Amino acid sequence: MSIGDFIGIQPSELKFPFELKKQSSCYMQLSNKTDQYIAFKVKTTNPKKYCVGPNAGVVLPNSACNVRVTLQAQEEAPLDMQCRDKFLVQSVVAPQGASSKDVTQEMFTREDGKIVDEFRLRVVYIPANPPSPVPEGEEEATSPETSLAEDEIRKPVLSEVFLSIMLFLSVPFNFISVVSKLNEEKASVTKENKKLLRELELIKNQTRKRQGNALSFVVLIFGLLLGILVGYVITGNPTNTSGKCPVDTLKLGICGDWVGLVHEVVGTKPSSECCELLKGLADFEAALCLCTEIKANVLGIAKVKVPIALSLAVNSCGKKVPRDFVCS
Collapsing DSSP states into helix, strand and coil, what is residue 25? strand
pLDDT of residue 224: 80
The Cα–Cα gap between 10 and 167 comes to 29
Count of alpha carbons within 13 angstroms of residue 106, beta-carbon side? 2
pLDDT of residue 245: 46
Element (H, E) at 61: none
Residues 165-203 as b or e (16 or more Cβ within 10 Å = b)? eeeeeeeeeeeeeeeeeeeeeeeeeeeeeeeeeeeeeee
pLDDT of residue 248: 38
The Cα–Cα gap between 177 and 169 comes to 13
The Cα–Cα gap between 73 and 9 comes to 26
Q: Which long-range contacts (CB under 8 A, 24 or more apart) does 129-135 make?
A: none
Which residues partner with 25 through β-bridges?
Answer: 70
14 in Cβ contact with 26 (< 8 Å): yes
Going by C-alpha positions, the residue among 180, 38, 60 that lies closest to residue 116 is 38
291 in Cβ contact with 256 (< 8 Å): no
- DSSP character for 143? -
pLDDT of residue 46: 94
Going by C-alpha positions, the residue among 259, 256, 250, 322 that lies closest to residue 285 is 322
pLDDT tens digits, one per residue of 217-245: 788 888 888 878 777 666 554 444 334 44
The Cα–Cα gap between 247 and 254 comes to 12
The Cα–Cα gap between 183 and 169 comes to 22
pLDDT of residue 125: 93
First-to-last C-alpha distance (Å) of the chain: 138
Separation of CA 296 from chain center:
64
pLDDT of residue 98: 92
pLDDT of residue 297: 53
239 in Cβ contact with 246 (< 8 Å): yes
Residues 231-249 as b or e (16 or more Cβ within 10 Å = b)? eebeebbeebeeebbbeeb
Domain locations along the chain: 7-128, 145-236, 238-316
Q: What share of the chain is helix, strand, coil (3-state, %, to 5)?
A: 50, 20, 30
Which listed CATH number (1.10.3720.10, 1.20.5.510, 2.40.128.20, 2.60.40.10) goes with 7-128? 2.60.40.10
Count of alpha carbons within 13 angstroms of residue 85, beta-carbon side? 20
The CA R_g of the chain, rounded to the nearest whole Å, is 60
pLDDT along the chain (328 residues), means of 10: 73 92 94 94 95 94 95 88 93 93 91 88 86 50 51 57 62 67 89 90 85 77 81 55 40 46 47 63 57 54 56 66 62
The Cα–Cα gap between 243 and 312 comes to 17
86 in Cβ contact with 44 (< 8 Å): yes
pLDDT of residue 274: 62
